[in-house]
C-alpha cells in the first residue's frame, strides 16, 4: 500500500469498508498486494490466518520447501513382556535409547541396572542387575535389590558409569528429521458485464466493490481450511501442488475425548489435555476450535477466562485462559464445522510459519478479462504453504460431544 499522498488521485477511490481502497486502478492492469487489507476485513472469520500472518509469516522462493526438526535424545524406554528377577537381558519396545555402559532404572521397582555389552538388537538390552545394590560382608546396606520386571515397566536412562582409566564410550548422535511441504495456488475469480457495473443502485456501494468484499472473505476461508486440514501432494503430470495443513503434521499428541470420557469434555479432561499439549514448546499457545467447544469450555471455566486487548494478541481480541501448564489463547473459527465441530487444535505459534511464495501473498488482479470483453473480471490469487515444526509442541483434541 502506498504511503504518500502523491498516489491518491491516481489509485485511491472513495469507497469505505472495502478490502482494498485502490478501486480506481481498474483501468490499469496492475496486481495489488492486498494481503493485509483482507486480513483486517473480517478477522473473526479466519482467525487462524490472521494470527499466522501477524506472528509467523516467512516467504519462500521455492514451491517445495524443506526444514529439519531435531528433538532431544529420549531417556525413556519400556519393558515388553516382562522378565524374571534373574534375567540378564531385558526385552523392550525399542533399545535405541541406551548404549553400552549406560545405567537404567526401573522406575516402578527402583532397581538400577548397567548395560554391560554392546546393544546389537533393536528390542534386547544386556544388563547387569541390581547395579546400585551395595553390600558389606554379605550384608545388604543400601541400594535396591532386583525384582521381577513387569510388562510396560518404564526404564529411565540416567547416564553412563565408566570404569577407571576408561576409553571414551560410543557416541550417541540423533539425526534431524527432514520435513517438507508444497506451495498451493489459490485463485478466486469474479466478473460481471459492464451493464451490471453501470446500473444505478439504491445502495451507496457499487456492485464491483460489494463482490470484491464477499470474494475476499471466501478466498481467505478457502486458504484457512487448506492450511488447517489440507494434505500435501504434488501431481507432477498435472502440475498441481497442494499444501499440507497443520493436522497432517501432528502425530504424537492426540486426545480423543470420545474414547477417554465418552465425549464429555470436563475441566479434568481439559487440564489433562493441556498437560500433554504443554509438555514441549512454549508456555503460551493458541487453541483454535469450533464455537461449540468454545461454549463447553466457557461453561466450566467462565471465571478463569479473560479477554485480551487487540494490541497484545496479533491485533485481535481473543479469549485468554490461564492454566497451571501454560497460557491458552482461545479462538473459534468458522472452519470448524460438520465433522470438525468436535475438534480443537492447541498450536505453538512459534513453531508454525505461513509461507507465501515469491511475493504472491494475496494479490488482487484487476481486469484480467479478454481485451474485447464488454465487462470485467478480477480475481484474488494467493500462493502459500504451511511450515509446521516440532510436531510434539502441538496437540489435537477430538471427539468432544458435550
Portions of the chain given CATH number 2.40.33: 76-160
CA distance 387 to 39: 19
In the prediction, which pLDDT does 315 show?
62
In the prediction, which pLDDT does 293 show?
92
Portions of the chain given CATH number 3.90.1690: 5-69+179-398
User: How is residue 167 annotated by DSSP?
Assistant: P
User: How is residue 62 annotated by DSSP?
Assistant: S
For 235-251, give the secondary structure using H, E and C.
ECCCCEEECCCHHHHCC
| Inter-residue contact 345 to 51 (CB < 8 Å) | no
φ, ψ of residue 315 in degrees (nearest 5): 80, 5
In the prediction, which pLDDT does 35 show?
57
CA distance 239 to 285: 36
Asked: is 5-69+179-398 a CATH 3.90.1690 domain? The reply is: yes
Reading the chain (402 residues) residue by residue, the pLDDT tens digits are: 334 333 333 333 344 444 443 333 333 444 666 555 554 445 556 778 778 777 778 889 999 999 988 777 788 899 998 899 999 999 999 999 999 999 999 999 999 999 999 999 999 999 999 999 887 766 666 788 899 999 999 999 999 999 888 888 887 777 778 899 999 999 999 998 888 777 765 555 677 888 888 888 888 889 999 999 999 999 999 999 999 999 999 998 999 999 888 999 999 999 999 999 999 999 999 999 999 999 999 888 877 777 765 555 666 677 788 888 999 988 888 889 999 999 999 999 999 999 999 867 888 888 999 999 999 999 999 999 999 999 999 999 999 998
| Inter-residue contact 21 to 32 (CB < 8 Å) | no
In the prediction, which pLDDT does 272 show?
93
CA distance 39 to 147: 62
Asked: is 76-160 a CATH 2.40.33 domain? The reply is: yes
> Where is 53: in which H helix or E strand?
helix 47-55
Torsion of CA 296, 297, 298, 300, to 10 degrees: 90
Torsion of CA 193, 196, 198, 200, to 10 degrees: 180
Residues in Cβ contact with 339 at an 8 Å cutoff, skipping those fewer than 6 apart? none
> What distance lies between CA 121 and its chain's CA centroid?
35
**How many residues does this entry show for the chain?**
402
φ, ψ of residue 53 in degrees (nearest 5): -70, -25
Place of cell 525399542: 94
3-class DSSP state for residue 60? strand
CA distance 53 to 219: 15
| H-type alpha helices, 254-397 | 257-260, 267-277, 291-301
Amino acid at each position: 500500500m502506498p504511503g504518500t499522498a502523491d498516489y491518491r488521485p491516481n489509485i485511491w477511490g472513495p469507497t469505505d469498508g472495502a478490502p482494498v481502497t485502490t478501486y480506481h486502478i481498474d483501468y490499469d492492469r496492475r496486481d495489488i498486494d492486498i494481503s493485509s487489507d483482507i486480513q483486517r476485513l473480517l478477522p473473526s472469520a479466519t482467525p487462524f490466518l490472521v494470527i499466522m500472518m501477524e506472528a509467523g509469516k516467512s516467504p519462500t522462493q521455492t514451491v517445495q520447501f524443506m526444514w529439519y526438526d531435531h528433538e532431544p535424545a529420549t531417556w525413556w524406554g519400556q519393558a515388553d513382556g516382562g522378565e524374571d528377577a534373574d534375567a540378564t537381558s531385558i526385552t523392550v519396545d525399542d533399545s535405541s535409547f541406551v548404549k553400552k555402559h549406560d545405567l537404567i532404572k526401573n522406575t516402578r521397582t527402583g532397581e538400577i541396572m548397567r548395560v554391560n555389552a554392546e546393544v546389537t538388537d533393536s528390542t534386547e538390552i544386556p544388563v547387569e542387575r541390581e547395579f546400585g545394590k551395595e553390600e558389606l560382608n554379605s550384608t545388604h546396606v543400601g541400594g535396591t535389590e532386583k525384582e521381577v520386571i513387569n510388562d510396560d515397566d518404564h526404564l529411565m536412562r540416567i547416564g553412563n558409569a565408566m570404569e577407571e582409566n576408561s576409553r571414551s564410550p560410543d557416541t550417541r548422535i540423533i539425526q534431524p528429521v527432514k520435513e517438507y511441504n508444497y506451495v498451493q495456488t489459490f485463485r478466486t475469480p469474479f466478473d460481471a458485464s459492464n451493464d451490471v457495473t453501470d446500473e444505478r443502485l439504491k445502495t451507496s456501494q457499487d456492485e464491483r466493490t460489494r463482490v470484491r468484499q464477499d470474494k475476499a472473505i471466501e478466498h481467505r476461508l478457502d486458504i484457512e481450511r487448506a492450511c488447517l486440514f489440507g494434505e500435501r501432494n504434488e501431481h507432477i503430470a498435472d502440475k498441481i501442488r497442494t499444501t499440507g495443513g497443520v493436522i497432517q503434521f501432528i502425530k504424537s499428541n492426540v486426545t480423543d475425548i470420545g474414547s477417554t470420557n465418552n465425549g464429555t469434555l470436563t475441566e479434568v479432561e481439559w487440564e489433562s489435555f493441556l498437560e500433554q499439549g504443554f509438555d514441549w514448546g512454549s508456555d503460551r499457545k493458541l487453541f483454535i476450535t469450533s464455537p461449540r467447544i468454545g461454549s463447553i469450555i466457557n461453561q466450566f471455566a467462565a471465571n478463569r477466562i479473560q479477554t485480551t486487548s487487540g494490541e497484545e494478541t496479533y491485533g485481535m481480541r481473543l479469549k485468554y485462559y490461564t492454566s497451571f501448564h501454560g497460557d491458552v489463547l482461545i479462538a473459534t473459527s468458522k472452519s470448524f464445522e460438520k465433522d470438525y465441530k468436535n475438534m480443537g487444535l492447541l498450536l505453538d505459534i512459534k513453531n508454525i510459519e505461513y509461507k507465501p511464495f515469491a511475493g504472491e501473498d494475496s494479490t488482487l488482479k484487476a481486469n484480467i478479462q479478454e481485451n474485447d470483453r464488454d465487462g470485467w473480471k478480477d480475481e484474488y490469487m494467493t500462493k502459500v504453504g504451511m511450515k509446521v515444526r516440532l510436531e510434539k509442541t502441538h496437540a489435537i483434541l477430538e471427539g468432544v460431544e458435550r
